Amino acid sequence: MARTTKRPPFAPIAPKRVVFLAYEGHQPLDLVGPLQVFALANREGAAPGYEIIVAAMQRGRVDASAGPSLVVDHGLEALGSADTLVIPGGPGVEAAARERQLVQALRRTAGSIRRVCTVCTGSFLLAETGLLSGKRATTHWRSCADLAAKYPDIEVLSDPIFVHDGGFWTSAGVTAGIDMALALVEDDCGQAMAARVARDLVVYLRRPGGQAQFSEPLALQQRSNQGDYGKLIELVESTLNRSWSIDELAKTAGQSPRTFQRRFTEAVGRSPAVAIETLRISRARLMLETTRAPLTVVASRCGFGSQEQMRRAFHRQLGVTPGWIREHFGKLG
């Protein structure tokens, strides 16, 4: 007669503890965005895979930079039992980096934490501990130069949505924390689970391209104004279907072609041809996402010589095709 036992043949797997660090002035979306990814993974799984807690220097109320405050039940002692630590960014990160107690606690416990992660400017707090020394990291595109200048021993990458170097994960601005959290869930639970969570959040599992696709059109306009090319950029942007030559651009700017190319590149940080291609891609993306216009029409209205030329430009700058953009982001499909 077979023996029976009330105990299951295998002990249940303990959930992984994910600790979110809150501090005065943190960016709320940096914290709750990734937190929601792990919460949805718990809901989608057969059993909760994550124990999610929020910790701070002191228990009690912690004010965010906007929106409601948090009531935190855990102090820094929670870091010692974390499997994954997520540090948000926000306007209060500089003050947090000056808190010796906090910096020392992070430095002391990081060795026992499997993954230490930052969102946006949270990388500055982690950098202050010295733990990112010799590592690759990223942050919000607007803060990359500051991070590199303040911590020259860190290899700062300005374009990736997130960077994984050993046990450290750093992500770009705000919503990039969701991208990173999806990658963490995929690492733990597999692609199918991460895809289900992404679908629940109505986001994509892997975002195409890097930070540049979001920041460059705006930065281009800002830099062109500084170099007295603002009106020229506005004119080109309003007539993208026109084939602009260097001679025409130079004449409009009141300069010789050679002087124009040199000064424009110095002011804007890229050649006139690349700058115009960036503007055309930005306009084409808008059409792909908000209209049903055929690809040939999109290419023509945005100044690409052909649909194939547009496809090559998209692949060169974003690493995806126009069709992929429409399939994943089209709002009228």
Write out the catalytic residue numbers.
120
Residue 119: DSSP 8-state: -
Q: Answer yes or no: are the C-beta atoms of 111 and 49 closer than 8 Å.
A: no
Q: Extract the tokens encoding 131.
A: 């733990």
What does the angle CA 111 – CA 115 – CA 120 come to, to the nearest 5 degrees?
115
Give the H/E segment covering residue 118: strand 115-118
Tokens 């809901």, residue located: 43
135 secondary structure, DSSP code? -
Beta carbons of 127 and 151 less than 8 angstroms apart: yes
CA distance readout (Å), 6 to 3, 10, 14, 197, 258: 10, 12, 19, 35, 84
User: Are 83 and 17 contacting, i.e. CB atoms less than 8 angstroms apart?
Assistant: yes
| Alpha-carbon separation of residue 303 from 243, 277, 286 (angstroms) | 6, 9, 14
Q: Helix and strand tally (H, E) in the chain? A: 15, 10
Q: Which two tokens stand for residue 31?
A: 């914290």
Q: In the structure encoding, which two tokens stand for residue 208, read together?
A: 């195409």
- Separation CA 229–CA 210 (nearest Å): 26
Question: Do 194 and 186 form a contact (C-beta atoms < 8 A)?
Answer: yes
Check if the beta carbon of residue 243 is closer than 8 Å to that of residue 273. Answer: no
